[in-house]
């Protein structure tokens, strides 16, 4: 009986460890398909593309973004980046620098063309449809191997919010102000 309990405990601990290590969405290894790309320039192009969605939201003192690259497809001079993205506009409310408008964790496909000078130019920015068409839209936009990950994108919001809060804090520092930052 004692042996069974010990074996059960070892199995439970092992499974727990596998789940914790295997489900860490914060790990940012190089995404599949990123070989040969200028990662810094691509990251900057992604940030600009996501921040370019500002017209859909209320204005703030500064705009921020968060993103997780799931996969990259490269065909000739066209680069398609499958992401989970989030936009945030920050402003002061009661002395706290807070996210006053923006999005949650949105599965997004961002397509760029690579210019002769090595820069990336936005070609297309696609998000799934809302409501009843959401599921079918995700399946059309994303490769099948990413469907499970994309349908659980809400799990990434905390990580995306942390990216936005860090950018908001950086903005405050750049203008010489201090305040609590809250996404």
Asked whether the beta carbons of 82 and 95 are under 8 A apart, the reply is: no
Q: What is the pLDDT of residues 30-39, one digit of tens each?
A: 454 555 678 9
Whether the per-residue pLDDT at 148 is higher than 60: the answer is yes
- The Cα 134–Cα 104 span in angstroms is 15
Whether the per-residue pLDDT at 78 is higher than 70: the answer is yes
Compute the CA torsion angle 39, 41, 43, 47 (nearest 10 deg): 180
What burial letters (b/e) apply to 36-52, b meaning 16+ CB within 10 Å? ebeeeebeebbbebbbe
Go through the domains of the chain in sequence order and give each one's CATH number.
Answer: 34-182 (3.10.450.630)
pLDDT at 56: 77
Q: What is the value of pTM for the model shown?
A: 0.78
Whether the per-residue pLDDT at 17 is higher than 50: the answer is no
Radius of gyration in angstroms for the set of CA atoms belonging to the chain, rounded to a whole number: 20
Q: Give the pLDDT mean for 84-104.
A: 94
Tokens 């405990």, located at residue: 9
The secondary structure of residue 32, as a DSSP letter, is B
Q: What is the pLDDT of residues 107-140, one digit of tens each?
A: 999 999 999 888 999 999 999 999 999 999 999 9
């Amino acid at each position: 009986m004692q042996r069974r309990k010990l074996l059960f405990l070892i199995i439970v601990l092992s499974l727990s460890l596998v789940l914790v290590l295997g489900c860490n969405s914060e790990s940012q290894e190089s995404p599949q398909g990123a070989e040969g790309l200028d990662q810094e320039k691509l990251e900057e192009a992604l940030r600009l593309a996501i921040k370019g969605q500002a017209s859909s939201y209320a204005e703030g003192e500064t705009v921020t973004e968060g993103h997780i690259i799931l996969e990259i497809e490269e065909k000739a001079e066209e680069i398609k980046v499958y992401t989970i993205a989030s936009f945030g506009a920050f402003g002061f409310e009661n002395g706290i620098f807070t996210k006053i408008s923006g999005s949650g964790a949105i599965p997004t496909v961002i397509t760029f063309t690579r210019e002769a000078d090595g820069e990336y130019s936005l070609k297309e920015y696609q998000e799934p449809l809302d409501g009843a068409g959401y599921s079918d839209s995700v399946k059309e936009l994303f490769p099948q191997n990413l469907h499970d990950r994309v349908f659980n994108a809400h799990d990434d919001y905390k990580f995306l919010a942390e990216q936005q809060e860090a950018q908001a804090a950086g903005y405050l520092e750049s203008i010489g102000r201090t305040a609590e930052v809250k996404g």
